[in-house]
Chains A and B, each alone.
Chain A
């Protein structure tokens, strides 16, 4: 109760500020002309409709019976709405397992990438060692390497390491993210040296300085990188597709792409499994839209 009364006014002011920002933006871009506003609004509504259409159509199909889905592309099904497709997907298929695999692999990829890249970024930004400049130059140059061209040798390597059809095989090749090292290094460079010096004067070693000063100060960029890496890992198709053939180890994108082919012409079921596969990230996005939008923008731009 007490916290609510503390938080609510703040939210209200933030909303008011945002609304004022939007109104100012409208004035700056469109002026006071009603025609301009109406035209912009119509364009927005049309584009939104086009972009939401595939979602809407998938949702409608998924709630039809298979016979209705396979008879005509009508909006309203002849024999009423049905949950059968969802029940089938959740009880008869492997979707829940794939979902679990996706969560495990995406979370581990994100955590490992974040720790490894942040440490490397700190090493390049705030420590001195022989070969630092060369190592950094190699890291930056490697950003250019398209991962897809490495699938053939990487797969051979996985055979040698006996990592085919294992979580390690899915995860480890995905944690190498030179772009993220570069972004984090650039961000760490901007932390005032005085803060780090103060920590050193207080007797903190480089580890303490890193974990108690640098990491807390960099929360925003670390969250942004984490979001970016997570989306990439969650949606990665090619690598898990190549390294895993055991259905019980597949991630969502691989599972629904390869196994649902056996559903044949069950359109409602296919759409239901596609929507369930899409749901987790969409829910996360609805909850954290602001952070995700900012995160993607900063890492997307920061990478350059």
Chain B
């Protein structure tokens, strides 16, 4: 009794023989689909057309063109590039600069991802406590994400300024020696990471905040009835419930950090002595400073291949289905 009603009554309240109606419904749906195919068969292309055009012209074509360029010794000024086969790729694998800048990119990625995930989580937890001042907390933690990168680097370069900067003035007040934040190879990467964390943590903070709002309240109520204290609830409900979001934030952050360019270019230009040069900076320098476009393309594709391989690993790929 209940088995049949749950199936039929949901759709229509009439009590016709359900088997016959199902057949009818199925054939109707098929006819409809065929009609739809005839009806909107071509309009689908029209809807897709604008995207297809920009996609092909500004994404697919540069990818193909770049591959071709990477097989030539093209320069920005030279007019007749010659085909050099895989010579650029072979050169890149033997280029110490490629390895060094890749290594520094990894350092930046690890060094920035950890605080960018942890600080964002702490911020979101603190804001989610609902303590008064919500507007201010959200503004303070997210506003910096809205700044153009050049604004971020100018403000931070000013705070890092060796003689008049805020940080060295404070160090001086404490009786400590000034630090060459952007000129000392030991500090430059840390200084860039600090500015990056300040700039972009707001995005991860929002992702965490959204995740926190999605935790079902009854979990907390159940825990409260069981007599779990605030810390206990934090570690056995809140943080485990954030697991999926943490993987997501981690994956997004790693992929974003690997592509670091703007703030390094503007703060140190890759210096001192190349100590903060990321792979994208090396590509930029090779292509637009030394004008070796073919070689720059080859390094681009090696980097691209690394990102694709990384994205296809289980860590990144598996999460997408969840």
Complex Cα gap A173–B130 (Å): 42
The count of A-to-B residue pairs whose CB atoms sit within 8 angstroms is: 301
Within 8 A of A (CB), among B54-86: 54-55, 57-63, 65-66, 69
What residues on A are CB-neighbors of B284 within 8 Å? 151
With most chain B CB atoms within 10 A of its CB, the pick from A21, A25, A124 is A25
The size of the chain A interface, using a CB distance under 8 A, is: 104
Q: Is A267 an interface residue (CB 8 A)?
A: yes
Complex Cα gap A277–B169 (Å): 27
What residues on A are CB-neighbors of B248 within 8 Å? 301, 304
Q: Is B93 an interface residue (CB 8 A)?
A: no
What residues on A are CB-neighbors of B36 within 8 Å? 128
Q: Mark B139-164, 1 if CB is under 8 A from A, else 0.
A: 11111111111110111101101001
Within 8 A of A (CB), among B38-66: 39-45, 47-48, 50-52, 54-55, 57-63, 65-66
A186 → chain B closest CB, angstroms: 12
Contact partner, A235, options B60, B131, B147, B210, Cβ 8 Å: B147
Complex Cα gap A52–B170 (Å): 17
What residues on A are CB-neighbors of B210 within 8 Å? 294, 297-298, 300-301
Given A210-B47, A304-B319: A43 and B154 interface contact (C-beta under 8 Å): no
Does B304 contact A146, Cβ atoms closer than 8 Å? yes
Given A152-B296, A238-B262, A293-B206: A26 and B69 interface contact (C-beta under 8 Å): no
Within 8 A of A (CB), among B1-58: 32-33, 36-37, 39-45, 47-48, 50-52, 54-55, 57-58
> How many residues of B sit at the interface, in one of the four size bands?
35 or more
B57 → chain A closest CB, angstroms: 8
What residues on B are CB-neighbors of A270 within 8 Å? 154, 158
Does B43 contact A289, Cβ atoms closer than 8 Å? no
Q: Mark A276-304, 1 if CB is under 8 A from B, else 0.
A: 01100110011001000110111011001
Q: Is B116 an interface residue (CB 8 A)?
A: no
What residues on B are CB-neighbors of A150 within 8 Å? 59, 62-63, 66, 300
Given A235-B147, A256-B150, A271-B155: A128 and B40 interface contact (C-beta under 8 Å): yes
Contact partner, A257, options B58, B134, B150, Cβ 8 Å: B150
Does A238 contact B126, Cβ atoms closer than 8 Å? no
Given A116-B51, A301-B248: A72 and B261 interface contact (C-beta under 8 Å): no
Does A237 contact B262, Cβ atoms closer than 8 Å? yes
CB-nearest residue of chain B to A26: B130
Does B142 contact A293, Cβ atoms closer than 8 Å? yes
Complex Cα gap A48–B206 (Å): 15
Contact segment of A1-9, A77-85, A86-94, A137-145: A137-145
What residues on A are CB-neighbors of B206 within 8 Å? 293, 296-297, 300
What residues on B are CB-neighbors of A37 within 8 Å? 129, 131
What residues on A are CB-neighbors of B308 within 8 Å? 144
Q: Is A162 an interface residue (CB 8 A)?
A: no
Does B169 contact A152, Cβ atoms closer than 8 Å? no
Question: Could you pull out 25 A-B pairs where Cβ atoms are within 8 angstroms?
Answer: A22-B131, A33-B230, A47-B126, A48-B136, A57-B166, A73-B169, A115-B50, A127-B43, A129-B41, A129-B48, A148-B280, A150-B62, A152-B66, A152-B288, A157-B61, A231-B146, A257-B149, A270-B154, A286-B139, A293-B138, A296-B206, A297-B207, A300-B203, A300-B206, A300-B210
Q: Nearest 4 pairs between A and B by C-beta?
A: A127-B44, A22-B130, A25-B130, A120-B51
Interface residues of B (CB under 8 A from A): 32-33, 36-37, 39-45, 47-48, 50-52, 54-55, 57-63, 65-66, 69, 122-123, 125-151, 153-156, 158-159, 161, 164-166, 169, 198, 203, 206-207, 209-211, 217, 220-221, 224, 229-230, 233-234, 238, 248, 252, 255, 259, 261-262, 266, 280, 283-284, 287-288, 293, 296-297, 300-301, 303-304, 307-308, 311, 319-320
Interface residues of A (CB under 8 A from B): 21-26, 28-31, 33, 36-37, 40-41, 43-44, 47-48, 51-52, 54-55, 57-58, 61, 69-73, 115-117, 119-120, 122-124, 126-129, 132, 135, 139, 142, 144-146, 148-157, 172-173, 175-176, 178, 181, 197, 200, 205-207, 210, 231, 234-235, 237-238, 242, 252-254, 256-257, 260, 267, 270-271, 274-275, 277-278, 281-282, 285-286, 289, 293-294, 296-298, 300-301, 304
